[in-house]
Chain A
Amino acid sequence: MNKRLDNYFDIPFYIPKSHVSTMQNKTGTWRFARPIYQEKLAPCSTACPASENIPKIEYYLSQGLIKNAWETILYENPFPSICGRVCFHNCEKECNRGSFDESLSVHNIERFIGDKALSENFEQTDIKLPLNNKKIAIVGSGPAGLSAGYFLSILGYNCHIFEQKNSPGGLLRWGIPEYRLPKDILDKEIARIENDRLKIFLNQEVSKSFINDANGAYDAIFLACGLGKTAKMNITGEEMCIDGLKFLEKVSGGINPEIKGNVAVIGGGNTAIDVSRVLLRLNAKPSIIYRRRKQDMPAFSYEVNMACEEGVIIHELLSPLSINKENKYVLEVLKMKIDGISNGRMQVISDENQKQTLEFDHIISATGSKPLKDWYMPDDNRKMINLSHIVFSNKDIPVLYGGDLTNQILSVTDAIASGKQAAIALDIFFENGFSNILETFEKYYGTDKSQVSMEAYLKKNEQKNTGIVFYKDLNVDYFEKQARVNPKKIDKKESISSFKEIEQTYDDNEVLTEVIRCINCGICNQCDNCRIFCPELAIDFTNNERVINYDYCKGCGICIVECPRNAMSLEEEK
């Protein structure tokens, strides 16, 4: 039936159709802007005192490459299990994901990685440079001293760490209570960094003359003795107070100080918080006496909140005047009121001289801390360089001061940054001399002069300041809202009646759910959007590498826009 139609006629049919390859049309000649792959800094990393490459760590973990993730941390920080627990995680405050839904739980992920490495005995790939003939003395085995030893041993130095007490760790051991940092974690992470080049000598008190006599025995000294003494309040009866630092040290050493009843804790720093929370666990009733308000406390706010949740009472705007002993201890205080901000801090003044007396069974002072000995601090300004986390003093041999002695922020991670800075500064000194220290540091700074990466220094990757990826730079169309995974906690009743760790480490499923929330700001995570969206098919993917074919890339910039995480940039064509 259709025969007639099939033979009806030839259809006039002439259309533009070409089998010639369009490769001859080199659309790259149209280009006036050039896309490039350019990784950038993530705000979390720039907020990390230890300059950890957080997006890369999270990327490795999300791909199941936990050992790579762990080793990426170890370039910048020898203590992931410790920092995953005690770091104040400024990274999370700056996390871009926080502008989208909730910030990534970076510290819990770091803790998972660190704990996994401990429980499965990960062996670190050897990144150590060949041994040189230099020997460095380190005074103090707190986080700064241990880190300095760790980084110096990587750089090829022999190190001797001198610790006055009978165990290493400094503040990590004596200042941070067990419920925040279990001692077995501390012991394991310290044990891991010890090696042929790094020896810790315990029960070795170092005297001032050591500095003068060291020349010959050592090529440099790093002083990281910490702040071992509680600052004085200068009030009558002060000597009747229990020293907060010594109290914590006693408890950490396994001695129950037998403190019961109502206890006043004077101060607003992390020591005051730790003392109070320890008191709760000893069945005492702690009350913090602070001269400013709760929100003005120098303690990390999340620690303050946890203390309040546990039942620590905070009396704000009370300034201690005197202590008398009657049946109980009588604390006379002056009522304060706020007077406005000065030097970036809320100032308080006496509220019409109103006074008040409070009775306590014990009073503990936790009003800031000072170096145990005066000579721990740098004494002259000649031949001295001040870096963000250390002071480098060029005497007969270099003497460096670091850790809490010189740091602005008294945190474990800043102490680690101090140890790293000291190691790099010494290496530059021995390679290029004192006068080149500042200049060489410039090459390896991140976004500011407190940011220095050991990975960059080791690999001699001079840092180009490519800028920070902010939330506005992301293409968040590619992300779905997903709540942050919070780690399991032990029951509150159990937590305040024991020294058991409150938060649990993530399990394998929890960590994966959380880590894939990371946007991986500024780094390529192989999403392939650039290649998929290229209208000229000008991105080749061979040997696991993407290469832009500039013969055909017309510079439209679609790849830049479709890169969800800003790992590409558009440059003007020259």
Chain B
Amino acid sequence: MKEVIEGSQAVSEAVRLAKTKVIAAYPITPQSHIIETLSEYCAEKIMDARFITVESEHSAMAAVIGASSTGVRSFTASSSHGLALMHELLHWASGARLPIVMAEVNRALGPGWNIWMDQTDSLAQRDTGWIQLYCEDAQEVFDTTLQAFKLAEMINLPVMVILDAFFLSHTYEPVDIPAQEIVDKFLPEYKPKVQLDTSNPFALGQMTPPEFYMEMRYSIQMAMKKVIGLFENIENDFFEIFERSYGTVEAVQCQDAEIIMVMPGTAASTCRYVIQELRDQNHKVGLLKLKMLRPFPTEIIQKILANTQKIAVLDRNCSFGLGGIFAQEIRACLCNLDKAPLVFSYISGLGGRDVTQSILKEIYWLTKKNQNPKYESIWVGLDKNNLSKID
């Protein structure tokens, strides 16, 4: 049955239906609605779960690490500064191979103090060993959260489900929320490979000398490589029940495209309209929506992009001193091809600024007119009045 709910609540409903056992979180805008709903579900015994209130995000992650180590399904949510505070323990979660699921609401970091959409927070955690899945709409948020538990538990790696602040977290959309028994068919009870057990004591995550550490890291990398194939299979299972699937990436009208626009998140929705409008005017343009950033689906992306001429990547983030991070990922993925397409990098929509149709069209036209992409990113939609204030 479809219900009109916030993107945040889509997460909460999925966590409820996943029969999560432990939730530990600390409130931060724009994530708070997720855990507010869950804390009510716990308090009202709608969920048979323990909600642990903590004094910081660092402790929230520590608590779910502890819970997950004992072999129960565990969840947390965070955003921006909260996620940054978790950083150290994000490494622990992946290093210990714990199948924790986290909802991450993409929000800018201060100063200047800003609670709105920006990708910097999640991208700063790119190398922590977490699987990252970016979502476009509330239904995808719901579906991805359910899939995330299955993926995490099968591969023993933590998963971050990422949704845009406000554009997704606080926007009401119709979402199909299935009955519990249907969800149970897709997501069975969690059977941990390892769990702490007082009757059979052992140590986890202890001192690891040089003769073992490297192979443990290799094992994470090997597991990550298997995620792409595994995710495909999980999506097939999901499709059989729910008749929806998303892919690690989604190619929209890319086959004959001369220019392919690349981006994750809600901006892709806007872009779907823009490319249709341009197609109607006989422009050969396509959209590559990115969903999975880690592991990076290199081969899939190569296949889609290899035969096009130009790629326009939209980043809602900036790695200062270089440029947009998604553009770097795309460049790196294409660089060894015999005839690599030209990659244009654009930065726009930082700190909650809208990425409008006209901005996307401007990006298209800039790409179309230009034959020599610069390595530097082009900033689109800068306000001239504001720029005059820069000394």
Within 323-359 of B, Cβ neighbours of A (below 8 Å) are at: none
| A-side contacts of B219, CB under 8 Å | 12-15
Known interface pairs A5-B237, A18-B203, A19-B202; A13-B223 also in contact (CB < 8 Å): yes
B208 near A14: Cβ-Cβ < 8 Å: no
- Determine the chain A residues whose CB is within 8 A of the CB of B178 once the complex forms: none
Tell me the smallest distance from the CB of A538 to a CB of chain B, in Å.
17
Interface residues of B in 226-253 (CB under 8 A from A): 226, 229-230, 233-234, 237, 240
B84 within 8 A of A: no
Within 8 A of B (CB), among A1-32: 1-2, 4-5, 8-9, 11-20, 22
User: Once the chains bind, are A15 and B204 in contact (CB under 8 Å)?
Assistant: yes
The A-contacting residues of B in range 175-215, CB under 8 angstroms, are: 185, 188, 193-194, 201-208, 212, 215
A11 B205 Cβ-Cβ under 8 A: no
Contact B97 A13 (CB under 8 A): yes
| Chain B residue at minimum C-beta to C-beta distance from A10 | B226
Q: Mark B140-178 against chain A: 1 for CB-CB distance below 8 A, else 0.
A: 000000000000001110000000000000000000000
The answer to whether B97 and A15 touch across the interface, beta carbons within 8 angstroms, is yes
Interface presence of B96 (CB below 8 A): yes
Given A1-B240, A2-B237, A5-B233: A12 and B226 interface contact (C-beta under 8 Å): yes
Complex Cα distance A2/B219, Å? 24
Q: Which residue of B lies closest to A5 (CB)?
A: B233
B237 & A11 in contact (Cβ 8 Å cutoff)? no
Residue on A with the closest CB to B205? A16
B207 to A, closest residue via Cβ: A16
**B191: min CB distance to chain A, Å:** 11
Complex Cα–Cα for A15 and B230 (A) = 21
A5, A14, A15, A20, most chain B CB atoms within 10 A: A15
- Are A15 and B233 interface neighbours, CB within 8 A? no
Let me know if B208 and A16 touch, CB within 8 A. Answer: yes
The answer to whether B222 has its CB under 8 Å from any CB of chain A is yes
Interface membership of B216, Cβ < 8 A:
yes
Of A13, A16, A19, the residue contacting B193 (CB under 8 A) is A13
Q: Residues of B contacting A12 with CB < 8 Å?
A: 218-220, 222-223, 226
Assess the A11–B155 pair: CB atoms within 8 A: yes
Tell me if B154 and A5 are in contact (CB < 8 A). yes
Q: Which residues of B contact A5 (CB under 8 A)?
A: 154, 230, 233-234, 237
Q: Which chain A residue shows the least CB distance to B230?
A: A8
Chain A residues, CB < 8 A from B218: 12, 14
Q: Is the CB of B156 within 8 A of A13?
A: yes
On chain A, the residues within 8 Å of B222 by CB distance are: 12
Q: Which residue of chain A has the shortest Cβ distance to B215 in the bound complex?
A: A14
A18 touches B240 (CB 8 A): no
Bound CA–CA A8/B212 (angstroms): 27
How many angstroms from the CA of A340 to the CA of B202 in the assembled complex? 75
Across-interface contacts of A4 in B (CB, < 8 A): 233, 237
A14-B222 Cα distance, complex, nearest whole Å: 11
Q: How far is the CA of A19 from the CA of B200 in the complex (A)?
A: 9
Q: Do residues B237 and A1 form an inter-chain contact, with CB atoms below 8 A?
A: yes
Pairwise interchain contact B193-A22, C-beta atoms closer than 8 A: no
- Within 8 Å CB of A18, what residues of B? 202-203, 206
Contact B96 A15 (CB under 8 A): yes
Residue of A nearest to B155 (CB): A11
Least CB distance from B223 to A in Å reads 5
What chain B residues lie within 8 Å of A19 (beta carbons)?
Answer: 201-203
Q: In the assembly, what is the distance between CA of A8 and CA of B237, in Å?
A: 13
Give min CB distance, B254 to chain A, whole Å.
Answer: 28
Q: Are A15 and B154 in contact (CB under 8 A)?
A: no
**Which of chain B's residues has its CB closest to A6's CB?**
B154
Inter-chain CA distance A85–B341, complex, in Å, is 99
Q: Which of B97, B188, B220, B229 contacts A2 (CB 8 A)?
A: B188
Q: In the complex, what distance in Å separates the CA atom of A4 from the CA atom of B240?
A: 13
**A21: nearest chain-B partner, CB-CB:** B201
B223 near A15 (CB under 8 angstroms)? no
Q: Which of A9, A13, A20, A22 has the most CB of B within 10 A?
A: A13
- Shortest Cβ gap from A21 to chain B (Å): 8
Q: Is the CB of B226 within 8 A of A11?
A: yes
Q: Is the CB of B237 within 8 A of A16?
A: no
Min CB distance, B281 to chain A, in Å?
A: 45
Beyond A2-B188, A19-B202, A22-B203, is A14–B216 a contact (Cβ under 8 Å)? yes
Q: Which residue of A lies closest to B185 (CB)?
A: A1
CB < 8 Å: which of A11, A14, A16, A20 contacts B154?
Answer: A11
Instruction: Say yes or no: A17 contacts B194, CB within 8 Å.
Output: yes
**Chain A residue contacts of B194, Cβ below 8 A:** 15, 17
**A residues near B206, Cβ cutoff 8 Å:** 16-18, 22
B226/A9 in contact, CB under 8 A: yes
- Across the interface, which residues of A come within 8 angstroms of B204, CB to CB? 15-17
What's the minimum C-beta distance from B214 to chain A, rounded to whole angstroms? 11
* Residues of B contacting A13 in the complex (Cβ-Cβ under 8 angstroms): 97, 156, 193, 219, 223
Instruction: Give, as a whole number of angstroms, the nearest-CB distance from B100 to chain A.
Output: 14
- What separation, in Å, do the CA atoms of A9 and B227 have in the docked complex? 11
What's the Cα separation between A14 and B206 when bound, in Å? 13
**By CB atoms of chain A within 10 A, which of B96, B97, B222 has the most?**
B97
Question: Once the chains are docked, how many angstroms separate the CA of A12 from the CA of B156?
Answer: 9
Tell me which residues across on chain A come within 8 A of B240, comparing CB atoms: 1
Chain B, range 361-380, C-beta contacts under 8 Å to A = none
Complex interface residues of chain A between 257 and 272 (CB less than 8 A to chain B) = none
A477 to chain B, nearest CB (A): 15
Q: Which residues of A contact B97 (CB under 8 A)?
A: 13, 15
Neighbouring A residues of B233 by C-beta, 8 Å: 4-5, 8
What's the least CB distance linking B216 to chain A, in Å?
A: 5
| Residue in B154, B202, B220, B229 whose CB lies within 8 Å of A17 | B202
- Smallest CB gap from B224: residue in A: A12
| A17→B194 CA distance, assembly (Å) | 9
Q: Are B156 and A11 in contact (CB under 8 A)?
A: yes
Give the CA-CA distance A17 to B202 in the complex, in Å.
Answer: 7
Contacts of B96 in A (CB 8 A): 15
Complex Cα spacing A73 to B147, Å: 71
Q: B113-125: contact bitstring with A at CB < 8 Å (1 yes, 0 no)?
A: 0000000000000
Are the C-beta atoms of A16 and B212 separated by less than 8 Å? yes
Residue of A nearest to B150 (CB): A5
Residue in chain B with minimal CB distance to A15: B97
Complex contacts, B185 vs chain A, CB 8 Å: 1
Measured between beta carbons, the chain A residues less than 8 angstroms from B216 are 14-16
* Contact between chains at B205 and A15 (CB < 8 Å): yes
| A18 CA to B205 CA, complexed, in Å | 9
Interchain CA distance A19-B197 in the complex, whole Å: 12
Do A17 and B155 touch across chains, with their CB atoms under 8 A apart?
no
Task: Specify which chain A residues have a CB less than 8 angstroms from the CB of B193 in the assembled complex.
Answer: 11, 13
- Minimum CB–CB distance from A247 to chain B (whole Å) comes to 68
By a CB distance below 8 angstroms, the chain B residues around A2 are: 188, 237
> In the docked arrangement, what's the CA distance between A8 and B193, Å?
16
- Chain A's nearest CB lies how many Å from the CB of B42? 27
Query: Shortest distance in angstroms between A24's beta carbon and chain B's nearest beta carbon?
Result: 12
Alpha-carbon distance between A12 and B220 when the two chains are bound, in angstroms: 7
Bound-state CA distance A84–B223 (Å) is 76
Shortest A1–chain B CB gap in Å is 6
Task: Chain A residues near B155: list those with CB within 8 A.
Answer: 11
Binding site for A on B (CB under 8 A): 95-97, 154-156, 185, 188, 193-194, 201-208, 212, 215-216, 218-220, 222-223, 226, 229-230, 233-234, 237, 240
30 contacts between A and B (CB under 8 A): A2-B188, A2-B237, A4-B233, A5-B154, A5-B230, A5-B233, A8-B229, A8-B233, A9-B230, A11-B154, A11-B156, A11-B193, A11-B223, A11-B226, A12-B218, A13-B156, A15-B97, A15-B204, A15-B205, A16-B203, A16-B205, A16-B206, A16-B212, A16-B216, A17-B202, A17-B203, A18-B206, A19-B201, A20-B203, A22-B203
Given contacts A11-B155, A13-B97, A13-B193, 16 further A-B contacts (CB under 8 A): A4-B233, A5-B233, A8-B233, A11-B223, A12-B219, A14-B216, A15-B97, A15-B194, A15-B205, A16-B203, A16-B204, A16-B208, A16-B216, A17-B194, A17-B203, A18-B203
Question: Which 6 A-B residue pairings sit nearest by Cβ, starting from the closest?
Answer: A12-B222, A14-B219, A12-B219, A18-B203, A16-B208, A19-B202
